[in-house]
Amino acid sequence: MLQRWVAPFLVLFAVLLVAWTLTLGYRLPSRHTSHHWDVAWVGFDIVLAAALGATGWSVARRSSWASSAAAVAATLLVCDAWFDTVLANGVGERIEAAVEAAALELPLAILCIWLARNSDRADAAVQSAFVQERGGPSR
């Protein structure tokens, strides 16, 4: 029963979101000053750190939700790269944002996507490394 209405609901929401996005694109100013800018970025980075930590922990523990944690971390990393790059002010900030995105955030997002899609292989690699570290036979 749930499956019958979830897909149409999500598609409808996507269509409404596109309409809302077009409205915002027309109505929003291209420049905006915001209070608590620092709180927004620090809060986002704390959530990103928690997602990365949860991903590492869940992979190490061979948890069933490792792929979900990795997908969340990948999404947040791509969002971080996007907003850092788009909201950079001045040439220096743009270069810094582009270097961070290219060297850190996007490669780490790709690793997390790989983990999300291949959690069984990642689990086997962690298990093999653990067994080799202990000096025991590998599976």
pLDDT of residue 25: 94
How does pLDDT run across 62-110, given as a tens digit for each residue? 898 999 999 999 999 999 999 999 999 999 999 999 999 999 999 999 9
**Residue ranges per domain, the chain?**
34-134
Residues in the chain: 139
In the DSSP assignment, the letter for residue 65 is T
Q: Which of 87, 80, 85, 79 is nearest to 98 (CA)?
A: 85
Pick from 2-6, 18-22, 60-64 the range whose average pLDDT is largest.
18-22
Burial class (CB in 10 A: 0-12, 13-18, 19+), 83: middle
Q: Which residue has the higher pLDDT, 32 or 134?
A: 32
pTM for the structure as a whole? 0.80
